[in-house]
Amino acid sequence: MLTLSLIGIGCGDPDQLTRAAIQAINAADLVLIPRKGTAKSDLADLRRTICADVLANDKTVIAEFDLPVRDAGEADYRKGVDDWHDAVAATWQQAIAKHLAGEGKVALLIWGDPSLYDSSLRIARRFDPSKIEVVPGITSIQALCAAHALPLNDIGEPFLVTTGRRLREGGWPAGVDTVVVMLDGGTAFQSLDPAGLQIYWGAYLGMPDQIIMSGALAEIGPRIVAARREARARHGWIMDSYILKRVG
């Protein structure tokens, strides 16, 4: 029986690990750590640090593997994502087969939480382990709200979580005054009329290099664009999210 445990590890601060996450890591026979290239070596380093800090089971094997890269040039976005997920699932299978003889518990340390804009559950179902278990973690939305000391919703009001691509293509969503934007590689907020909008932005949340900025979009937006460009050049990668609110 092969059990795949997807463990949410929060957004970069090892102190965000729950007791359940620590127990699940120590219950694993194999912990897989993905490598995403030298530009994102910080992400693998954090997972190594977590294992070094909390792993007390000396029988647990830690194995690293290179994660396939999605073809960003694929014209059909959904097909490109599906093909990439197939390749990742195959890579998982190969890494597991190399270290386990068909049974045991495998742990993957998931950035944030497996439920929110993460494809680990969809990928896991592609190679169909005997059992999938999920240990929830702190999301980037929670970390962003905490960094800004911000309640996400207004009293009795809804909010929407979307992507930069959808915001850019569709504009401001109808029926809400609060929009959470994730996976935005191109500062889609620049496509909006900034009048009456506040932005709460954060990058590298929970990490030593965390950056947060907030204020009127018309004023802060250009500063975020510049700060984001500089941070990406310095680190070689950036992971950020933001909240937009209509005011007045």
Q: CATH number of the domain that 218 lies in?
A: 3.30.950.10
CA gap 239, 40 in Å, rounded: 10
Does residue 73 register a pLDDT over 80? no
Which of 64-68, 91-95, 96-100, 241-245 has the highest average model confidence (pLDDT)? 241-245
In the chain, % of residues over pLDDT 90: 70
Q: CA angle, corner 242, sides to 238 and 243, nearest 5?
A: 175
Please compute, for residue 95, the number of CA atoms within 13 A of its CA located in the half-sphere on the CB side. Answer: 24
Report the candidate in 178, 188, 180 with the shortest Cα–Cα distance to residue 144.
180
Please give the average per-residue pLDDT across 175-192, as a whole number.
95
Please give the average per-residue pLDDT across 68-96, as a whole number.
84
Query: Same domain for 25 and 94?
Result: yes
Query: Same domain for 131 and 197?
Result: no
- Examine the fold and report which residue of 138, 154, 177 is the final residue of a domain before the chain moves on: 138
Query: Same domain for 82 and 19?
Result: yes
Query: Same domain for 90 and 211?
Result: no
- Examine the fold and report which residue of 138, 170, 185 is the final residue of a domain before the chain moves on: 138
H/E element holding 212? strand 211-216
Query: Same domain for 12 and 134?
Result: yes
Query: Same domain for 77 and 110?
Result: yes
Query: Same domain for 116 and 239?
Result: no
Query: Same domain for 116 and 146?
Result: no
Phi, psi of 242 (to 5 degrees): -155, 160
Find all residues with CB under 8 Å of 170, minimum gap 6, and list them.
none
- Examine the fold and report which residue of 138, 172, 197 is the final residue of a domain before the chain moves on: 138
- Residues of the domain holding 160: 141-246
Q: CATH number of the domain that 83 lies in?
A: 3.40.1010.10
Query: Same domain for 160 and 124?
Result: no
Query: Same domain for 156 and 208?
Result: yes
User: Can you give the pTM of this predicted structure?
Assistant: 0.89
In the chain, % of residues over pLDDT 70: 97
**CA distances, 103 to each of 98, 99, 135 (Å):** 12, 10, 20
Find all residues with CB under 8 Å of 115, minimum gap 6, and list them.
121, 134, 136
Give bridge partners of residue 61 from the DSSP assignment: 30
Quote the number of domains for the chain: 2
Q: Per-residue DSSP letters for 60-116?
A: -EEEEEEPPPP-TT-SSHHHHHHHHHHHHHHHHHHHHHHH-SS-EEEEEEESB-TTS
Query: Same domain for 163 and 130?
Result: no
Query: Same domain for 127 and 147?
Result: no
Beta strands in the chain (DSSP E): 2-8, 30-35, 61-66, 104-110, 131-135, 160-163, 178-182, 197-203, 211-216, 240-246
The pLDDT tens digits of the residues spanning 111-165 come to: 999 999 888 999 988 887 889 999 999 999 999 999 999 999 999 999 999 999 9
Q: Which residue has the higher pLDDT, 35 or 9?
A: 9
